[in-house]
A and B are shown apart, each in its own frame.
Chain A
Amino acid sequence: EPEVTQTPSHQVTQMGQEVILRCVPISNHLYFYWYRQILGQKVEFLVSFYNNEISEKSEIFDDQFSVERPDGSNFTLKIRSTKLEDSAMYFCASSVPGRVNTEAFFGQGTRLTVV
């Protein structure tokens, strides 16, 4: 079964450092997303990406965040200057366009720990 893959599974970084989280969405999917989940809290939407541009973003996705699809397969989330409160699980997801489709496929996540 096709799956969304994320690397690394765990990233530890020092406060103020830049991190790049990587994702390989399912190959025929056209929408890509990043969500995060702080330990013990709910899954929060960050950003969606379609046709090489951001289609939606949440209030959480401020100027320290950016996304990129550098080639035909990877989708990355960059956090420019990490803060302690950025520690969370970051999930990448992808989906196909569909008028009645509410199914997104999530990766296993990257656990980001900022120290």
Chain B
Amino acid sequence: LAKTTQPISMDSYEGQEVNITCSHNNIATNDYITWYQQFPSQGPRFIIQGYKTKVTNEVASLFIPADRKSSTLSLPRVSLSDTAVYYCLVARPDYGGSQGNLIFGKGTKLSVKP
């Protein structure tokens, strides 16, 4: 599976839009891009997944350019409670749906300040 690279940390202020970019140069045709969020002492939580172009849900948007070698997670109007670690993963869902291929990196530690 493709290795991902993302910033180690980011700072933001309440009410701002935060964009976290991840690179995955060796992404394969069958791979999806998925993002998880983790609060301290809690398990990771799925945020969003996408294959190409733009995906939006009630929490975030995910922008994927045509070459799919990078992706950007966009969090609109962050609040203090969005302070967490955000993981970009490249995952290969198969017909069995096994998530053993959820390989977590170090993630981006987002700190939201008042």
Question: A residues engaging B (CB < 8 A)?
Answer: 4, 30-31, 33, 35, 42-45, 47-48, 50, 55-58, 89, 91, 93, 95-109, 111
Contacts and interface: CB of A to CB of B under 8 A. Distances in A.
B93 A55 contact: no
Contacts of A100: 32, 49, 51, 93
The 10 closest A-B pairs by CB, nearest first: A106-B43, A97-B97, A56-B100, A48-B100, A43-B104, A102-B34, A102-B91, A103-B46, A104-B99, A91-B43
A89 B102 contact: no
What's the dominant secondary structure at chain A's contact region? strand
A107 B42 CA distance: 8
Contacts of A105: 46
Contacts of A58: 100
B100 A45 contact: yes
Interface of B: 32, 34, 38, 41-46, 49, 51, 87, 89, 91, 93-107
B49 A102 contact: yes
Nearest to B97: A97
Contacts of B104: 35, 42-45
Contacts of B94: 99
Nearest to B34: A102
B93 A99 contact: yes
A19 to B, nearest CB: 19
B44 A43 contact: yes
B105 A102 contact: no
Most chain B CB atoms below 10 A, which of A42, A50, A91, A107: A42
B42 A109 contact: yes
A31 B96 contact: yes
Nearest to A46: B100
A31 B43 CA distance: 17
Contacts of A104: 46, 99, 102
Contact of A96 (B41, B43, B46, B97): B97
A101 B41 contact: no
Given A99-B94, A102-B32, A48 B99 contact: yes
